[in-house]
């Protein structure tokens, strides 16, 4: 009987090892984007390379990456916000891949967003704008600038940059445009209601805007277009001071055992086929502005993407800890 038990245990061990080995051969992609499902399915259909997805919110995902440190478990990281990717590249978590995107048919904006390090690559782009609940503001004139939000103090919702890559990208761009001290002073006059000024997620910001205490929101424009698509009483305002580009960027782990497959994945993301597939994604991320020529986005943008501000990623990442702490101290309950 013991021989039978031993044989069964041995067979089970061999089977588990085989399954583990098979899983290890899969490309592991960490992402917080709605578009990743459609993109990976299209990639596997085209190449036959299997992809294991780890889907978490941006804050949770970056927390997981931080916990893994110099031993990351992902092959490809794909998140929104170039500043956080710059930090990970500087820490040696992401590997420079010079020339990887040379054949990508980038738009002018897409090409401008490729960092000199080439440790991460823009896949799509969005920005932060002002969402206005047209029913809640009544007869008041809609704001035209960030500064105009002072007239709606206490009614403006915002995401916590500590939990959101896109929100930190906006904050860093805001400070780059206004100046840090002037930007801080202005925000303290706008975000006066802590119940809605440091909301943890974009979905919660939308809920506050539609059914809660907020009449306006500092929100990613992809999310605003999703609300408009759902026939909510919402309009989008691109502030006259300008807006900062928020690229979703993909990079490869420095210790990835599947570097060639990871490179093939990123190169696929930078094609018309991939971006067209991403447009089918449900959720706000599908309203991105394409960075590949010949792809028409779903968001009915009225602005000129060529005028979008390109963030100084190094300056932003160098000040990330201080700026995030300041925001938490001021605006998060």
Q: What is the pLDDT of residues 158-171, one digit of tens each?
A: 999 999 989 999 99
Location of structure tokens 């984007």: 33
Share of the chain above pLDDT 90, in %: 85
- Among 21-30, 192-201, 305-314, the minimum mean pLDDT is found in 21-30
pTM of the model: 0.88
pLDDT value, residue 59: 84
Tokens of 139: 């007869």
Q: What are the φ/ψ torsions at residue 235 (nearest 5 degrees)? A: -125, 160
The tens digit of pLDDT for each residue in 85-114 reads: 999 999 999 999 999 999 999 999 999 999
Across 279-301, average pLDDT: 88
Among candidates 251, 274, 313, which has minimal Cα distance to 105? 274
CB atoms within 10 A of CB 198: 21
Residue 198 pLDDT > 60: yes
Beta bridge partners of 217: 131, 157
Give the CA distances from residue 227 to residues 30, 104, 152, in Å, rounded to whole numbers and listed in that order.
Answer: 26, 32, 21
The tens digit of pLDDT for each residue in 211-259 reads: 999 999 999 999 999 999 999 999 999 999 989 999 999 999 999 999 9
| 2 or 64, higher pLDDT | 64
Decide if 304 contacts 71 (C-beta within 8 A): no
Residues of the chain with CATH 3.40.190.10: 2-125+246-303, 126-244+318-331
Confidence of residue 301 (pLDDT cuts 50, 70, 90): low
Confidence of residue 11 (pLDDT cuts 50, 70, 90): very low
Decide if 239 contacts 144 (C-beta within 8 A): yes
CATH topology of domain 126-244+318-331: D-Maltodextrin-Binding Protein; domain 2 (3.40.190)
Residue 78 pLDDT > 60: yes
pLDDT value, residue 300: 65
pLDDT value, residue 114: 97
| Environment class of 45 (CB within 10 Å of its CB; exposed 0-12, middle 13-18, buried 19+) | exposed
Share of the chain above pLDDT 70, in %: 90
Q: What are the φ/ψ torsions at residue 119 (nearest 5 degrees)? A: -95, -10
Residue 39 pLDDT > 80: yes
Confidence of residue 2 (pLDDT cuts 50, 70, 90): very low
CB atoms within 10 A of CB 324: 19
Residue 58 pLDDT > 90: no
Mean of the per-residue pLDDT values of the chain: 90
**Coil, helix or strand at residue 186:** helix
Residue 4 pLDDT > 50: no
DSSP state of 152: G
Residue 22 pLDDT > 50: no
Contacts of 279 (CB under 8 A, 6+ apart): 286, 295, 297, 298
**Coil, helix or strand at residue 69:** coil
Confidence of residue 3 (pLDDT cuts 50, 70, 90): very low
The tens digit of pLDDT for each residue in 109-163 reads: 999 999 999 999 999 999 999 999 999 998 999 999 999 999 999 999 999 999 9
pLDDT value, residue 137: 96
Contacts of 86 (CB under 8 A, 6+ apart): 115, 117, 120, 313, 314, 316, 317
Confidence of residue 208 (pLDDT cuts 50, 70, 90): very high
Tokens of 46: 């085209």
Decide if 261 contacts 74 (C-beta within 8 A): no
Residue 283 pLDDT > 90: no
pLDDT value, residue 282: 84
DSSP state of 106: B
Residue ranges of alpha helices (H) inside 128-231 are 165-178, 180-190, 194-197, 202-211, 221-229
Across 182-191, average pLDDT: 98
Among candidates 181, 176, 179, 186, which has minimal Cα distance to 309? 176
The C-alpha atoms of residue 173 and residue 226 are separated, in whole angstroms, by 23
| Environment class of 309 (CB within 10 Å of its CB; exposed 0-12, middle 13-18, buried 19+) | middle
CATH topology of domain 2-125+246-303: D-Maltodextrin-Binding Protein; domain 2 (3.40.190)
Tokens of 61: 């995902």
């Amino acid at each position: 009987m013991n021989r039978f038990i031993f044989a069964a245990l041995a067979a089970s061990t061999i089977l588990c090892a085989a399954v583990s080995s098979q899983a290890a051969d899969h490309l592991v992609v960490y992402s917080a984007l709605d578009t990743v499902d459609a993109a990976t399915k299209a990639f596997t259909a085209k190449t036959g390379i299997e992809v294991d997805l780890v889907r978490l919110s941006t804050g949770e995902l970056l927390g997981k990456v931080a916990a893994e440190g110099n031993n990351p478990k992902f092959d490809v990281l794909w998140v929104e916000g170039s500043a956080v990717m710059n930090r990970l590249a500087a820490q040696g978590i992401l590997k420079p891949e010079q020339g990887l995107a040379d054949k990508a048919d980038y738009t002018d904006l897409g090409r401008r967003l490729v960092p000199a390090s080439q440790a991460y690559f823009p896949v799509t782009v969005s920005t932060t704008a002002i969402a206005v609940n047209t029913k809640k503001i009544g007869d008041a004139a809609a704001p035209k600038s960030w500064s105009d939000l002072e007239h709606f103090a206490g009614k403006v919702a915002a995401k916590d940059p500590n939990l959101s890559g896109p929100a930190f990208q906006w904050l860093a761009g805001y400070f780059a445009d206004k100046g840090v001290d002037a930007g801080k002073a202005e925000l303290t006059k706008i975000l006066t209601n802590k119940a809605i000024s440091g909301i943890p997620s974009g979905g919660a910001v939308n809920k506050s805007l539609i059914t809660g205490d907020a009449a306006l929101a500092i929100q990613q424009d992809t999310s605003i277009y999703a609300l408009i698509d759902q026939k909510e009483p919402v309009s989008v305002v691109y502030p006259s001071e300008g807006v900062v580009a928020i690229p979703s960027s993909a990079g490869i782990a420095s210790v990835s055992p599947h570097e060639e497959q990871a490179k093939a994945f990123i190169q696929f993301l930078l094609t018309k086929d991939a971006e067209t597939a991403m447009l089918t994604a449900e959720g706000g991320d599908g309203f991105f502005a394409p960075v590949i020529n010949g792809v028409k986005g779903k968001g009915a943008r009225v602005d000129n993407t060529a005028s979008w501000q390109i963030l100084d990623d190094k300056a932003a990442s160098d000040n990330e800890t201080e700026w995030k702490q300041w925001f938490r101290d001021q605006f998060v309950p």
